[in-house]
A and B are shown apart, each in its own frame.
Chain A
Amino acid sequence: SYVLTQPTSVSVAPGKTARITCGGNNIGSKSVHWYQQRPGQAPVLVIYYDTQRPSGIPDRVSGSISANTATLTISRVEAGDEADYYCQVWDTHSDHWVFGGGTNLNVL
């Protein structure tokens, strides 16, 4: 089955830029979606179709994709950005929806 690989954690100082990667075989051929999950809360969609922001998500949050890596970028990081972030794709071969293992963003 298709596997998405994320770093376990990323640390960044306030005001700096955080980049969270999501690796998968030929992920560039898929559409990648990203979710933020704050402690004790349900996940919230922050990026869909690789680069699109839902309404209400600040433009500090952006997505990009290359052949084998998708990246979620959060600029001007704030304390409120501290959360777990998950990437997700649909695997056409198995008709399964797949999540990455999640990345904990730690704001120093």
Chain B
Amino acid sequence: EDKVVQSPLSLVVHEGDTVTLNCSYEVTNFRSLLWYKQEKKAPTFLFMLTSSGIEKKSGRLSSILDKKELFSILNITATQTGDSAVYLCAGVTNAGGTSYGKLTFGQGTILTVHP
């Protein structure tokens, strides 16, 4: 059975701090690892990672994948109160060809950023 585990489950920091969120996965026929941010609505896409060691970056957020050790991290530097959200990661299986298969989500990390 595929499994994705995130840690920590919750994190409280102050504005300006740097945080690292962890995602470990056991996914059969692994295709990619996805990161999302969820506020009080539907998740919004952050990153897709398919190759080890290649950092994806968007503003203060960055993410990297280690396919040997089966984990990914999401870094947020200089946190702001607007970064407060649940951060989700998901492992994607390859259904053959170029098609996506099953997605397995972790339980999420609740990040709270205080002013």
A binds B: no
